[in-house]
Amino acid sequence: MAVASFTWPFRRRSRSGDGPSKPAAPSAAEEEEELGVTPQLLDFLRTLSPDAFKSSALQLPAEAAGGELSYWQQRHDVLVLARAKELATIRYDLWPRHMKDEQFWTLYFLLSRSYILPYELRPIQKEKVRRMETENSKPTNAITVEVEMQESKCSRESETLTDDSENHDA
């Protein structure tokens, strides 16, 4: 039966003696900070109304509305809906009667851009730094080997030159 293929969406909390220990999950405050759900953002969201979304939707080009959300944006929108009941109410009022979900989130991220952009850029910057470190570590090793080979070659040549000069002096 196909029922066995479904997984239960809730995990049991393991007791201290059950199974291997897992790394500690970030606290709620750390996760809010990481995802940009700050008191300033929550204050801004209290000022929004369904009309702000509707008027922004009229100004938004059709091809700009929609599109897939990044992993960070998905995590952010789940947390912000839980923390900002006003936004959840606006979304309930607008979706699906007035706009699609993708359009709602596109407008949300445009309207709140000044509050969340620095937080949204952090994971991108961390990934770039990590990628640069891995790329730079390989060539650095190759350059080190080349320098060592060059130094040993130069030292052998200098020894040969020293021996030749001693033979000429005698």
The answer to whether residue 144 scores a pLDDT higher than 90 is: no
Q: What H or E segment, with its residue span, contains residue 71?
A: helix 71-83
The rounded distance, in Å, linking the Cα atoms of 12 and 1 is: 24
pLDDT tens across 81-123, in order? 999 999 999 999 999 998 999 999 999 999 999 999 999 999 9
Asked if the bond preceding 9 is cis, omega within 30° of 0, the reply is: no
Q: How confident is the model at residue 15 (pLDDT cuts 50, 70, 90)?
A: very low
Rounded (5°) CA angle 137-142-143: 95
pLDDT at 79: 96
Neighbours of 35 (CB within 10 A): 24
Residue 44 has pLDDT above 60, yes or no: yes
| Amino acid code (one letter) for 92 | Y
Q: Where are the domains of the chain?
A: 28-120
Q: pLDDT tens digit string along 110-121?
A: 999 999 999 999
